[in-house]
Amino acid sequence: MSTQVSKAEVVVSPGEFFQIGETRRIRSAIRLELTEHSYLPKSDDPRADWVASVAVPAFKTLSQMGFLAPRFCTIGTGAGLDALAAVEILKARTVGFTDIHDDVLEHARRNIQSNLLAQDVELVGGVGDLLSPLVGTLSEVDVIYENLPNIPMAETDDLADGQTSSTFIRERSEEIPGFAEKNLVTLHYLALQQAYPVLRVGGRVLSSIGARIPISEILALSGAAGYNGSVLTYTWKVQSEPHEVVGGFARWEREGLGPFHFYPVSVLREAFDGLSPAAAGARALQIESELAPYEIAAVDALALVESGEKVGHTVTVLDSVKVPDHAL
Ligand SMILES: C[S@@+](CC[C@H](N)C(=O)[O-])C[C@H]1O[C@@H](n2cnc3c(N)ncnc32)[C@H](O)[C@@H]1O
């Protein structure tokens, strides 16, 4: 069992969280220290946790394809649990990790270090925006993972105020394709762009996108950033922090972005019943079209949330492979 010891520390069992009987490279009880800014692992409910329900199945899918990642990097690591999953499942030995908050990064560094059994792991951490703190330090990376926020912060939000892991600062100086802005996937696009020079040819970016937009638009991100894109895994989640997140999507939908799609939880449960994330990934477009009659726009989903109902959303892990320039 996983237990929440206090707000400042959680203990996660890889047996339950990663569905791994015996770990070889990381401890069998993972202690994670958190700051008030850390994205909180859902230690009581692995199905609701992004690392357990999205990153781990994606890493296992790659590993089953025979693709390991001696050189791995996670952008926006939070507590550091995604890096530990990569050390165990993808046999990562060089582990890059970034986060935008100093305190989150320092805790992540300690969390990764203190839960390692393997002696061959080198940690390369950097505080700052996306991959920028590691540019020039990391190269020839096999896999870059990211689960970045979608929703631009409102003018009134404060980055220094508690957990802001589902939102990010709106003003960016980079050029962003219009479709990425309209779909609120700007950070995913920028991460793909920054990752390109850091990856080896044949390396890949796994973008974890609960973006509530059509899969075709998600795939278009890979193409726009110069990769070959496909859906690696497809799954669903009950919307966590529903007032904040659905409220955020509804606000931008009213301003003309989106539309963004949520679904009744019972419909999602049935549509994905008996399918592994990899099997669902292989027929993602078909599942998406079966779900289409049940789509709920963000403004309507917010009304449901406000009346006490749960809503869910799908999650895609976009697999963007760096191919030699002449192969595109
Ligand atoms: C949704 S959490 C994901 C945490 C963890 N990777 C996971 O999958 O559970 C998003 C993380 O990205 C970080 N973040 C947000 N904006 C960022 C940026 N521009 N650059 C780097 N990290 C960022 C947040 O502080 C937070 O830790």
Annotate 261-296 with three-state secondary structure: EEEEHHHHHHHCCCCCHHHHHHCHHHHHHHHHHHCE
CA distances from 70 to 88, 102, 140, 203, 315 (A): 11, 26, 10, 11, 26
Residue carrying the six token digits 């300690």: 110
* Phi and psi torsions of 197, nearest 5°: -70, -15
282/287 Cα distance (integer angstroms): 10
Measure the CA–CA gap between 27 and 88, rounded to whole angstroms. 10
Whether ligand 1 lies within 6 angstroms of the CB of 104 is answered as yes
Instruction: Indicate if ligand 1 lies below 6 Å from the C-beta of 77.
Output: yes
Indicate the pLDDT class of residue 211, thresholds 50, 70 and 90: confident
pTM given for the model: 0.94
Write b or e for each residue in 27-51: b if 16 or more Cβ atoms lie within 10 A of its Cβ, otherwise e: eeebebbbbebbbbbbbeebeebbb
Residue 154 has pLDDT above 90, yes or no: no
Q: Which of 99, 127, 176 to mutate to test the pocket of ligand 1 (most atoms within 8 A of CB)?
A: 99
Residues 154, 24: Cα–Cα separation, whole Å: 44
Rounded to the nearest whole angstrom, what is the distance from the C-alpha of residue 99 to the centroid of ligand 1?
6
CB of residue 33 inside a 6 A radius of ligand 1: no
Structure tokens at 269: 């449960």
Backbone angles phi, psi at 155, to 5 degrees: -55, -30
Residue 5 pLDDT > 80, yes or no? no
Q: For residues 63-75, give the mean pLDDT.
A: 98
Percent of the chain having pLDDT more than 90? 83
C-alpha to C-alpha distance for 96 and 232, rounded to whole angstroms: 22
* 119 CA distance to ligand 1 middle (Å): 27
What is the structure's pLDDT at 92?
98
Which tokens go with 297? 């726009």
Which ligand 1 atom is at minimum distance from the Cα of 55? 8
Task: Give the domain 3-238+316-327 fold.
Answer: Rossmann fold (3.40.50)
Does residue 272 line the site of ligand 1, with CB under 6 A? Answer: no
Q: Whose CA is nearest to atom 19 of ligand 1?
A: 129
Beta strands 311-321 and 199-209: pairing type? antiparallel
Counting ligand 1 atoms within 8 A of each CB, the residue from 165, 171, 187 with the most, and so the one to mutate, is 165
Atom of ligand 1 nearest to the CA of 146: 6
Is residue 123 within 8 Å of residue 91, measured between CB atoms? no
Range scoring the smallest mean pLDDT among 71-85, 117-131, 157-171, 312-326 = 157-171
∠ CA 288-293-299, rounded to 5°: 95
Which tokens in the block code for residue 172? 């960016």
- Whose structure tokens read 């220290």? 33
Q: Which atom of ligand 1 is nearest to the CA of 168?
A: 16
